[in-house]
Structure 1
Amino acid sequence: MRILFGFFLALGLAGAALAQGVDRSDPAMVATRFVDAYKARDLAAMAPLMDANNADFFAELAAEGRAHPAYGRVFSGWRADAIDAANGVSGAARVRREGEVWVPIGQSGGEIFVVALTAEENGWGVEDILSPGAADFDVLPIAR
């Protein structure tokens, strides 16, 4: 039992270390760390990068891992395919509306895959992975 607890503690600390040092004022940095953590299936690193709407869910998911009923849904489907195919940030962050930016991570056909982030007191937090049309994305102003 102690060995198993130690393993999960070490796993959690490794994930927290990956999330540490993230400049939450830089949406591209947050998106990059999120993509890296997602590709590694490192829930402990993903959880602190999430926005307030997702923080509790991802903390619970990180605590339970594969035993969580939603684990399979988080790491499957078109969002998983888009993130797994991403090679980091693929362009400038765009302002969707005040307090929300989209950071592009890939493209397929006429769709752009983006990490959607929301502004919070401690910086940017990951809200979702979206797939707006390229024409809709391209007209959005570049984030400064």
Structure 2
Amino acid sequence: GSGTFRGYLALPESGSGPGLVIAQEIFGVNHTMREVADYYAEEGYVVLVPDLFWRQQPDVELGYSEADWQRAFGFYQGFDEARGMEDMQSAIDALRALPEVGGGKVGVLGFCLGGKLAYLAACRTDADVSVGYYGVGIEAA
């Protein structure tokens, strides 16, 4: 209820499957996150990568140069984790509402910042499953 945001949606060739929200790294919904989404779509998932930095700046898409790393850390430091979890729940709800997501099952997968968000999604959302890779700052949560 606090605004709208976008994400990258990847559909499986079959046109339907279980839902998967991929929580981004600190670089936004960049080429790497879209490739990961496409990979999981090839495996049969309906995948959504939500733009979790939209409250700071919509459509963040950074690479891996030194300057991009600095910008990425700025977004990470300004990220409101509680609101980010609201956005994760919104992304889960959006996937469940799609006719392409059969059975309403939606999982969360994340890397780095997204790994922490996957952990938090297991605690604070109604995701059916969560998997986090190299989550940062989990011990503080």
Structure of greater Rg:
1
Using the size of structure 1 for normalisation, the TM-score is 0.25
Higher helix share: 1
Using the size of structure 2 for normalisation, the TM-score is 0.25
Higher relative contact order (CA 8 A, sep 6+): 2
